[in-house]
Structure 1
Amino acid sequence: MDDFGVYVVLGVNDAPLKLLCANGLAQVSVAVPPSSQQVVLFSRGRWGDRICVNAELNDADRVPITIGKLTPYNRCLTWEQWEEESWTEGVMLTVSLEGGHLSAVAPSPVREGKRKRGQTGEDNEEENRGKENTCPIDVVSSFSEKSTPLRKVRGQSRGGQTRLFLQSEGQEGAALTPQNTPPQRGKGRPAKTPTTPTAPLVNPSGRWGQSLCPIDPQTAILIGGQGSRMQFCKDPMWKLCTEDMSWVPAETLAEGPTPEARIGHTATYDPDSKRIFVFGGSKNKKWFNDVHILDTQSWKWSTVEAQGKVPPLAYHSCSMFRGELFVLGGVFPRPHPEPDGCSDSLYIFDPHLSIWYQPIVTGDKPAPRSGHSACVVQGKIYVFGGWDTPLCFNDMYMLDLGLMEFSSVQTNGSPPSPRSWHGCVLLSDSTFVVHGGYNGNQALNDTFTFNTDTNTWTELVHPQLSVPRAGHSIITMALANQNLSFKDDGKERNSDRTPKTLLVFGGGDNEGNFYSDLTTLTVTELLDQN
């Protein structure tokens, strides 16, 4: 017999309340008493073919306070009042299932508890036999999703930079949907009923602030991001299979505790250990300094208990060099929890010793910044752009990893305009590309290459890179199903080398649109525009 169930505990003296049971599709909302200091959500029983249970805490205006997800490998969630952005009267917990079949039920105690005020002892036992007990607190098992007011974030008046992807005046409550993509779940925000199954996503929802990390010629891993209505994505992890350019939901593929929902984090792949290192980021007014590791061979998540100190950071850069992570810059909460200022420090994480340390660096160090890019080229890290409210940068710095010395790079050609949250990736041994970004007023769609041998900027124009976007992901992959041919002495020959392909995913345009499209073009095709 299927004994699956999802339960919540709203107080230390209260019995667990059953929210979902094994009877069909369900979505249930339950009011959180203002006196609750902690909410514990957990599952019990066999998951079967169920994928996950989405959970949200919302305020009285249905604006998400925080979100989480139960999976077969992560069966318990805990929220504490003092850690969340808002916890007042009117907070609701909403849970909904993906996969399997559940029906909406009124929450009921796992065991007999005290009779709640308002319940009588004159209920007809025969009439109620076989039914769930009446919930002692407010429950809405099905509701129409209304437009969500935009949460006002303190500190937004400190310059135009922090208004990225917020709704413009007159658009409050308007739906924000991905553009130029197949319809996504949530588009138009239709009313939900417990009898209408939710179609599974075939590709990620529109988002920005995510990470996309290639792990081999056939696979890249997408982690995190924030989408329409400033909500963290309910589908935070995907696997991109480049053989047919298909997406596969990946949150439940790996065992172990998955990272909490976040944006502005980094995901860095180490080809030697075949592990992905996820560091930092933010969620509402939480800032993270944790390190999560995904072993791509065993497909298991683990959390690092590192020695040394590193501050909570978001929108930093993270570069892998000789097995160590080099974290530079980023926004940090100062004072907590209001972000106020950027970092100019360099932190190094040694995975072998599980320790953070700060190296001694000399030279001309770049000003504090976040939303910048960093690219490792021939033993040097090239740092470009970024912002520190209200300034936006287009300068270039280089860190020599042998000498641990910073220097300002005097460039040739016309450089990109000041920007942050742009895409940057290495194209060859001496060339990297910068695409898009945000200049404090609008998203950008221009593309530049930088040659480290000549320190020269070159602007490129390509029709597939014409959409303004910022907070997007840009990577290169040597796709295994491509063959490179070239002409030598008038003869066409096949090469054992595989050409690199540029992939651009997601981002937003600062006009309320969040993208879920995947743009692909070969590096050769891009450079031919020069």
Structure 2
Amino acid sequence: MDDFGVYAAFGVNGPPQKLLSAEGSSRVRVAVPPSVRQVVLFSSGRWGERICVNAELNDSDRMPITIGKLTPYNKCLSWEQWEEETWIDSVTLNVSLEGGNLSTEPEVIMAVKEYTPKDTAAPPAARELHGKRKRAQTAEEEEGGNDWTKRREEEENMCPNATSEKTTPVRKVRGQAKGSQKLFASGADTTKLKGAGEKGAAEMQGTVGRTPPQSAVRTKSRQAKAPAHTAPLASPSGRWGQTLCPIDAQTAILIGGQGARMQFCKDPMWKLCTEDMSWVAAETLAEGPTPEARIGHTAIYDPDSRRIFVFGGSKNKKWFNDVHILDTQSWKWTMVEAQGKVPPLAYHSCSMFQGELFVLGGVFPRPNPEPDGCSDSLYIFDPRLSIWYQPIVTGDKPSPRSGHSACVMQERKIYVFGGWDTPVCYNDMYMLDLGLMEFSAVKTTGNPPSPRSWHGSTVLSDTKFLIHGGYNGNNALSDAFIFDIDTNSWTEVRVPELSVPRAGHSIITMETAGHRCFSEEDEDADMNGGRTLLVFGGGDNEGNFYSDLTTVAVEELLGAI
């Protein structure tokens, strides 16, 4: 007998209600009462051939508020109203089963059996439950530092651009018209960023395209009310704040990110094959507990152990300091029970050196009434001992910052560029000598990039790395620069493929078919032969999230110097 079932509990006191069973319909729709502020969805019994259970909380226009998925390895989901910025009245839970012997029964529409204990106070008024302006005033809601609100701008820590003008972004007022939402808003001077990346960038409202659209502003309002579709995707949805991690010469893994309507991506994990530039949805390929949806995390691959390490990030008002490991040989996730202390961090940098993770900077939450802070600390994670520790470092270390980049050069130096902290956006450069564990400020020549954060960076050769795009406190950027560590010089490069403004995107270099280095005399020939730069995702601060994959031959970039 097949005892499989999918259940939901509505509210902290609500009893579980069976939504799907082995014999019934494979789809169900449930109207969530206005008094319910928590929903827990879980499965029970043997999964058999079943693949997954898709779940969506939709608003009255049937637009997804939040999305999740049950699998044989992740059998429980939970949502809370104060974590979902668009949770309002008339919320509907839609649940559908994939795989197994699917029933031909029509979709079932159910009502929630509400449960109210006798000693429980009456629920708050409807306006208080979904009144965004009222919720924006509470100190508790400000603790995560993720809600961009003009009325609290005296506490906000945003990043100005390089001028003396007050062009720092501000958080959008929670009643502001959707038509004016952007990835990052610009406005009056402020005093707090910090978790801004997640909510600030999440303020993008509009189109999701595989390529940068030319008329996004005109299509924004029309697409905002389009019904959600559940057809399988052939490629990742548009997003920013994700990670794209190469694991071998032809394969990279995409993890996490956030897209339109401040929603964390329903398709959080993909595998990219560069032989034919094809994508494969990979969330259900790996066993074990997958990381919770997040943004501002890091993912780095260790070629010796052939494992991906995912650390930190944030989700709405949740902050993470967990370490998840994906073994790319067994395709199994594990969560590390680490010793030592490391704070929850987002928008930090993470570098691999001799099998250890070097985590620098980032945003961390503080208790009220203090705003979130940027870190200048260096933490090291040793996977062999599953322990965090702080090394003794000397020299002139970088000031606290987040949204910066870090490139490991010649397996002995980490170059740190850019980022921001109250109220400054940086374009300075620091180098950490991994042998001496000594920081030093790098005096550069040439035309440097303007101050920025959330830019893309990648190593091009043994002596050169690239900085592209990012956010300067007002606009998303499209310029590109190459830094030469031999001469400590910057050179701006102009290639058509890198002309689209992007922030929060991913840049990697990989072996790809069709690109070969023809100059054997090139000093970088041993490294850039057959290598290609790949750019994925990001946003333009004009209402667009990208899902396009742009490629540029590394030899073309180096030839443009």
- Normalising by the residue count of structure 2, what TM-score does the alignment of the two structures yield? 0.77
Q: 1: distance between equivalents of 2:272 and 2:413?
A: 30
Answer whether contact 1:209 1:472 (CA < 8 A) is retained.
yes
For residue 181 of structure 1, the aligned residue among 202, 205, 211 is 211
The answer to whether the aligner puts 1:97 opposite 2:130 as a matched pair is: no
- Contact kept in structure 1, 2:245 and 2:253, CA below 8 Å: yes
CA RMSD of aligned residues (A): 3.7
The Cα shift of 1:451 comes to 0.5
In structure 1, the partner of 2:359 is 327
One-letter code aligned to 2:32: A
Q: Deviations over 1:269-328 (max 9, x none)?
A: 000000000000010011110110000000000000100000000000000000000000
Partner of 1:470: 503
User: Aligned letter for 2:42?
Assistant: L
Change (3 A) 1:484 1:204: same
Q: Name the residue aligned to 2:43.
A: 42
Q: Secondary structure of 2:482's match?
A: strand
Corresponding residue number in structure 2 for 1:106 = 109
Q: Mark the CA change 1:524 to 1:165 in structure 2 (over 3 Å): closer, same or farther.
A: farther
Matched, 1:350 2:358: no
Indicate the larger mover: 243-252 or 93-102: 93-102
What SS is found at the alignment partner of 2:557? helix
Residue-by-residue CA offset, 1:458-503 (whole Å, 9 max, x unaligned):
0000001000000000000123x346353669xxxx9998421100
**Residue of structure 2 aligned with 1:514, choices 532, 541, 545:** 545
Q: Counterpart of 2:32?
A: 31
Q: SS at 2:241's partner residue?
A: coil
Equivalent runs, 1:232-381 vs 2, <5 Å: 232-335=264-367, 340-378=372-410, 379-381=412-414
Higher relative contact order (CA 8 A, sep 6+): 2
What's 1:396 paired with? 429
Please state how far the C-alpha of 1:21 moved relative to its aligned partner.
4.5
Output the CA distance in 1 between the equivalents of 2:8 and 2:178.
39
Equivalent position SS for 1:106: strand
Residue 18 (structure 1) shift: 2.2
Alignment partner of 1:426 out of 439, 459, 463: 459
Say which of 458, 466, 481 aligns to 1:448: 481
Corresponding residue for residue 503 of structure 1: 534
Query: What secondary structure sits across from 1:486 in the alignment?
Result: coil
In the alignment, which residue of structure 2 is the partner of 1:382? 415
Change (3 A) 1:180 1:36: closer
| Deviation, structure 1 residue 230 | 1.2
Question: Is 1:484–1:495's contact at 8 Å kept on the other side of the alignment?
Answer: no
Q: In 2, distance between residues paired with 1:248 and 1:165?
A: 36
Q: Which runs of 5+ in 2 are unaligned?
A: 118-131, 137-146, 160-167, 182-203, 214-218
Cα pair distance change 1:30/1:395, threshold 3 Å:
same
Residues 28-177 of structure 1 mapped to structure 2, 5 A cutoff: 28-31=29-32, 34=35, 39-46=40-47, 48=49, 50-56=51-57, 67-79=67-79, 84=83, 90=89, 92=91, 94-97=93-96, 99-100=98-99, 101=102, 103-107=106-110, 153-154=147-148, 157=153, 158=156, 161=159, 163=169, 171=179, 176-177=206-207
2:339 and 2:369 mapped to 1: Cα distance? 23
Q: Which structure has the greater CA radius of gyration?
A: 1
1:478–1:51 CA distance, 2 compared to 1 (3 A): same
- For residues 250-271 of structure 1, the C-alpha deviation after alignment (integer angstroms, 9 at most, x for no partner) is 0000001110010000001000
Alignment partner of 1:411 is 2:444: yes
Q: Matched residues in 1 for 2:63 and 2:226: separation?
A: 17
The answer to whether the 8 Å contact 1:239/1:249 transfers is: yes
Verify the 8 A CA contact 1:20 1:28 in the aligned structure 2: no
The corresponding residue for 2:261 is 229
1:46-96 alpha-carbon deviations (Å, 9 max, x no partner): 36354442344x789999876532112211224578x84679984846233
Q: Is the alpha carbon distance of 1:175 and 1:44 closer, same or farther for their aligned partners in structure 2, counting shifts above 3 Å?
A: farther
CA distance in structure 1 between the partners assigned to 2:518 and 2:115 by the alignment: 80
Structure 1 residue runs without a partner (length 5+): 118-147
CA 1:89–1:416 in structure 2 vs 1: closer, same or farther (change >3 Å)? closer
State the Cα distance separating 1:172 from its structure 2 match: 5.1
Figure out how many residues of one structure are paired with residues of the other and give that number.
484
Q: Matched residue of 2:556: which SS?
A: helix
Instruction: Report the residue type matching 2:206 in the other structure.
Output: L
When residues 407 and 116 of structure 1 are mapped into structure 2, their CA distance, relative to the original with a 3 A threshold, is closer
Q: Which deviations, in whole Å up to 9, do the C-alpha atoms of 1:150-207 show, x marking residues without a partner?
A: x9725562365485997996615895112453999x9554336xxxx73211110100
Whether the 8 Å CA contact 2:311–2:322 is kept in 1: the answer is yes
* Structure 1 residues 62 and 392, CA gap change in structure 2 (3 angstroms): farther
* C-alpha displacement of 1:33: 6.8
**Contact 2:20 / 2:26 at 8 angstroms: preserved in 1?**
no
- The equivalent of 1:8 in structure 2 is 8
Instruction: Look up the SS of the partner of 2:388 in the other structure.
Output: strand
Counting helix residues as a fraction of each chain, which structure ranks higher?
2
Matches of 1:276 and 1:115, distance apart in 2: 44
Offset, 1:5? 3.5
In the aligned structure 1, how far is the partner of 2:88 from the partner of 2:553?
A: 54
User: Structure 1, residues 109-141: CA drift from partner, whole Å, max 9, x if none?
Assistant: 9xxx99999xxxxxxxxxxxxxxxxxxxxxxxx
Q: 1:219 to 1:178 in 2, by over 3 A?
A: same
Note closer, same or farther for the CA distance 1:282–1:421 as it changes in structure 2 (3 Å cut): same
Residues 211 and 529 of structure 1: is their aligned pair in 2 closer, same or farther, counting only changes over 3 Å? Answer: same
